[in-house]
């Protein structure tokens, strides 16, 4: 049970890291999307 929670939290941080990277790439595009 404890190991499962640890593995899940590790996968979670990987997911969050990916989200932040996508955010960093997409945020500069947002003003352009709003202008459409």
Task: Supply angle C-alpha 6, 21, 11, rounded to 5.
Answer: 15
Tokens representing 10 are 């590790």
Task: Please say if the pLDDT value at position 10 is more than 70.
Answer: yes
Q: Can you tell me the distance from the alpha carbon of 31 to that of 26, in angstroms, rounded to the nearest whole number?
A: 10
Range of 29's domain? 2-35
Q: Is the pTM of this model over 0.75?
A: no
* pLDDT band, residue 20 (cuts 50/70/90): very high
The structural domain count of the chain equals 1
DSSP state of 27: G
- Render 2-22 in DSSP notation, one character per residue: HHHHHHHHHHHHHHHHHHHHH
> Is the pLDDT higher at 1 or at 33?
33
């Amino acid at each position: 049970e404890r190991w499962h929670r640890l593995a899940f939290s590790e996968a979670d941080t990987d997911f969050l890291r990916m989200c932040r990277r996508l955010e960093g790439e997409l945020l500069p595009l947002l003003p352009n999307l709003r202008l459409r």
